[in-house]
Amino acid sequence: MQAPPTLLAACFHIWQFLLALGRAHLLSTDDCPVPVKAIIVDSTGTDTLSFGPSRNDCQERLATCSVSWISYELVQANHDVPAENAADGALLSRDFVLTDALKWVPFAGRSGRIAFLERILPMPRMENERLDSILAAKDLLVSVLLPRKTSVAWADMQTRIIAEQVMAVLPDHTFVDDGLAATYEQAFEPYRFSLIVDDNNDTVSQALIHCIGWGTIPLFNGFSHIVAMLPRVVVPWDRAAFRVETLLTFLPSINHGVAALWQQHRLIQDQLLYRYSRGFNASLRAAACHLCSYKQAHLEDALKFEDAEDVEDVLPPLVFVGVYSAQENVQKRQAIRRTWARPVRTHGFDLKFFLGRPHAHLVHVKAENAIHKDVILLDVQEGYRWNSIKGLMFLEWCAMNVLARFIVKADDDVYLRPEPLVLLLKRRPSFGYVWGYFDYFSPVPEDEHHAFFNSEDIYPFAVFPPYARGLLRVLSADVVAALANMSLAGKLPVIYGDDPCFGVHLRYLRDDMPGLPMLTLDDRDSYRIFAMEPSCNPALWSHASQRSWIIHHVSPEQVECMWAADLDAGMYQLDGIGQTGRTGRTGNAGGAQSTPAVLEVALAAASFATQERQAFEEPPPFPDICECLEFGPMAAELSKRQDKINATRLDSRLVTDLSFRHSSSLGQLAACRASGSGASV
């Protein structure tokens, strides 16, 4: 039965008041608890910034955490030299190193003490009405943005040839990148397309981000694999065969047929704002202070932290796994304990089940917890319509009780192959990070009986902001702490539906001051990792395959069947307890060690998301689990459905008789469907 909106709101405010009264003092609001010295090194020299409290005692040297930020320009100059030797050794011996050099670490990636952080001016941020007016006023066809005067791109003869051509034909529409926001506004705001000549693959292009921000379609060959959909709105071009006359013939031919792209373009603008709304200094401070909080835990033995060969040895545990469950779902919890929880716990990670208030038979829950010691009861009514409050209480509990770099939230009807997720997170920085299967532009249901229905007095908008679906999502510890603090401060509204409510809270976190200045919504490759439908029917939009790590809506029997399939394929070595295969259930206790075979597959799967778009190499397959999905409550219905939408089918005229590169990915050419009424150069 649906709870009245006023009841939900009243219950939430009472709960929030009591929580804040009793627990607010447990959560620190100091975002820089240890003194931090940040050294910024680029081609122009060195600068030093200091954050956090000052120290005047003899422990100053040990208490201060040092973070270096090294520009990709220095790496370009030493492109054949490995990271540990490419810059001054004193800089790289600091506690942590941040860099925007993709040659050292992938975008939003980490390798040991080195993590990725780009230096980007704040992205243009406009209300929808302003952006609508800008799009409607774009009456110029194309601009050209030449590289910065100091760019290594000018060493390429073809760059100089292109510059000569565009300056001769488009002198009033050609600009030189000087890194200033005002120049980007002039080069992008009135234009429908912009040719960005510097196709730098060594870092994230600031020009590309601002081009997207001004609603302009970029013609760009550089790195664009920032979010899953971004390459679809970037038009690649043939640099070697470039002719400005061909460009001016090509663009008008597609100018009137690209309306379908603008909506996708708007979604990407919104997604990028989570990472690029505040600017470099704020992001540097947040990242440095969060990383240095790890060192504070080792203040009594700071030299051990600095001298550790493997930083994993001195960092907090990688993950904590929290599984949403309900009192009656005993068999689901048992299936997880017997299967994928075992390799999670073998890694040394904690996994607990989170239940609401038992409506009856509390003794059964107590007995279960006495055996397994992995059940947490949250003081919230059980039921799907109350999951929004349960979600906030889960974050509060984790913020106060969990020491881990990432919090993994999962549902109890999920089958997870943990190894690729563990390997993926080992290669991600634990600041400002959200990973999962994202919904963008999800409409608010009009059916009052839908679990995500919200009346206008609760949520007065037509669509929800981006959210990672709740079957499994990952939050870095600082995101969890920030959301918990905002909840205690009364800054987070509650709407029906845990998933869209999480999206609303992320939006508040992005827009709140101080909030978090940088949030990475990482959805790269997620649409193949997740199987939202428990079926291998290829006509389904999100079906299971041998690329799937995470399968949703599965029964306990299907979970155990898939686990048995993985065991039969040699993915795990059990400790001798409950070693059965497909023919029977596995045991209830004991560890499960990943074998070399699964590590090879898992590493390839975890690394796939950061591969270059032009050089994708499919990872080897996981064991086939389709047989396990041929039975179950949804199997018959899913096997007959034919609802897959082919979103990549394009008009063949876009790849006919053009000197522009014929990309193997039709998604990259989707930008050629952008919009416009008669525009002129």
Spatial strand order of the sheet with 530-531 comes to: 415-416, 550-551, 530-531
pLDDT tens-digit map of 500-517: 999 999 999 999 877 799
**Per-residue pLDDT at 32:** 81
| pLDDT at 20 exceeding the cut of 80 | no
Angle CA(514)–CA(520)–CA(521) in degrees, nearest 5?
120
Amino acid code (one letter) for 76: Q
**Per-residue pLDDT at 65:** 85
More confident residue, 221 or 56: 221
Reported confidence tier of residue 397, pLDDT bands at 50, 70, 90: very high
pLDDT tens-digit map of 601-632: 999 998 888 776 555 678 889 999 999 999 88
Reported confidence tier of residue 416, pLDDT bands at 50, 70, 90: very high
Q: How many helices (H) and strands (E) does the chain have?
A: 23, 24
Reported confidence tier of residue 89, pLDDT bands at 50, 70, 90: low
**Per-residue pLDDT at 507:** 95
**Per-residue pLDDT at 77:** 65
Contact 612, 225 (CB under 8 A): yes
Kind and range of the H or E run holding 248 = helix 244-255
**Per-residue pLDDT at 31:** 63
- Locate tokens 């100053």: which residue? 60
What does the pLDDT average to over 56-65?
56
CA distances from 573 to 262, 343, 346, 482, 549 (A): 51, 10, 11, 39, 19
pLDDT tens-digit map of 547-604: 999 999 999 999 999 999 999 999 999 986 544 444 344 445 589 999 998 898 999 9
Q: State the chain's maximal CA–CA distance in angstroms.
A: 83
Q: Which two tokens stand for residue 579?
A: 């070693």
* Residue 442 φ/ψ region, left for φ over 0, alpha for ψ in the -120 to 50 degree band, beta for the rest: beta
Q: Specify the range with the lowest mean pLDDT, choosing from 156-170, 290-304, 520-534, 544-558.
A: 290-304
Reported confidence tier of residue 11, pLDDT bands at 50, 70, 90: very low
What does the pLDDT average to over 468-489?
95
Reported confidence tier of residue 55, pLDDT bands at 50, 70, 90: low
Angle CA(241)–CA(246)–CA(249) in degrees, nearest 5?
160
What does the pLDDT average to over 53-59?
57
**Per-residue pLDDT at 75:** 81
Reported confidence tier of residue 421, pLDDT bands at 50, 70, 90: very high
pLDDT tens-digit map of 227-236: 998 888 899 9
| pLDDT at 647 exceeding the cut of 50 | no
| pLDDT at 189 exceeding the cut of 80 | yes
Contact 411, 323 (CB under 8 A): yes
**Per-residue pLDDT at 304:** 63
Amino acid code (one letter) for 6: T
Rounded CA-CA distance 592/615 in Å is: 35
pLDDT tens-digit map of 198-212: 988 899 999 999 999
Question: CB 201: neighbour CB atoms within 10 A?
Answer: 13
Rounded CA-CA distance 136/139 in Å is: 8
pLDDT tens-digit map of 265-311: 888 999 999 999 999 999 999 999 998 888 776 555 555 666 676 77
Give the three-state DSSP class for 99.
strand
| DSSP class per residue in 458-471 | T--SSEEPPEEEEE
Rounded CA-CA distance 416/550 in Å is: 5
Rounded CA-CA distance 56/43 in Å is: 33
**Per-residue pLDDT at 2:** 42
**Per-residue pLDDT at 413:** 97
Rounded CA-CA distance 330/351 in Å is: 16
Angle CA(442)–CA(448)–CA(452) in degrees, nearest 5?
35
> Per DSSP, what are the bridge partners of residue 401?
none
| pLDDT at 259 exceeding the cut of 90 | no
Contact 267, 441 (CB under 8 A): yes
Kind and range of the H or E run holding 320 = strand 319-324
DSSP state of 152: G
| pLDDT at 668 exceeding the cut of 80 | no
What does the pLDDT average to over 537-541?
92
DSSP state of 411: E
**Per-residue pLDDT at 302:** 54
Write down the architecture of domain 5-25+317-522 according to CATH: Alpha-Beta Complex (3.90)
Question: CB 611: neighbour CB atoms within 10 A?
Answer: 17
**Per-residue pLDDT at 501:** 96
Q: Which two tokens stand for residue 299?
A: 């203040």
- The dihedral over CA atoms of 490, 491, 495, 497, expressed in degrees to the nearest 10, equals -100
CA distances from 413 to 342, 471, 556, 558, 560 (A): 16, 8, 8, 10, 12
- Phi–psi pair at 106, nearest 5 degrees: -65, 165
What does the pLDDT average to over 323-350?
96
Rounded CA-CA distance 605/186 in Å is: 42
Taking all residues of the chain, what is their mean pLDDT, rounded to a whole number?
Answer: 83
Which of 407, 412, 413, 384 has its CA nearest to residue 394?
Answer: 407
Contact 558, 625 (CB under 8 A): no
| pLDDT at 86 exceeding the cut of 50 | no
Rounded CA-CA distance 420/388 in Å is: 29
Q: How many residues does the chain have?
A: 681
Which of 529, 544, 528 has its CA nearest to residue 634?
Answer: 544
Contact 196, 166 (CB under 8 A): no
More confident residue, 650 or 102: 102
- As to burial, measured by CB atoms within 10 angstroms (0-12 exposed, 13-18 middle, 19+ buried), residue 185 is middle
| pLDDT at 474 exceeding the cut of 50 | yes
Contact 75, 103 (CB under 8 A): yes
Amino acid code (one letter) for 606: A
The structural domains of the chain, with segments of one domain joined by +, span: 5-25+317-522, 36-116, 128-276+654-673, 531-640
| pLDDT at 17 exceeding the cut of 50 | no
Q: Which two tokens stand for residue 455?
A: 């009346």
More confident residue, 143 or 669: 143
**Per-residue pLDDT at 262:** 72
How many percent of the chain have pLDDT more than 90?
Answer: 60
CA distances from 132 to 136, 446, 463, 679 (A): 6, 26, 17, 17
- Locate tokens 């292109």: which residue? 162
Which of 242, 210, 236, 241 has its CA nearest to residue 223?
Answer: 236
Q: Which residues contact 109 (CB under 8 A, 6 or more apart)?
A: 115, 116, 427, 428, 429, 610
- The dihedral over CA atoms of 18, 23, 27, 28, expressed in degrees to the nearest 10, equals 100
Contact 123, 206 (CB under 8 A): no
**Per-residue pLDDT at 382:** 86
| pLDDT at 669 exceeding the cut of 60 | no
**Per-residue pLDDT at 411:** 97
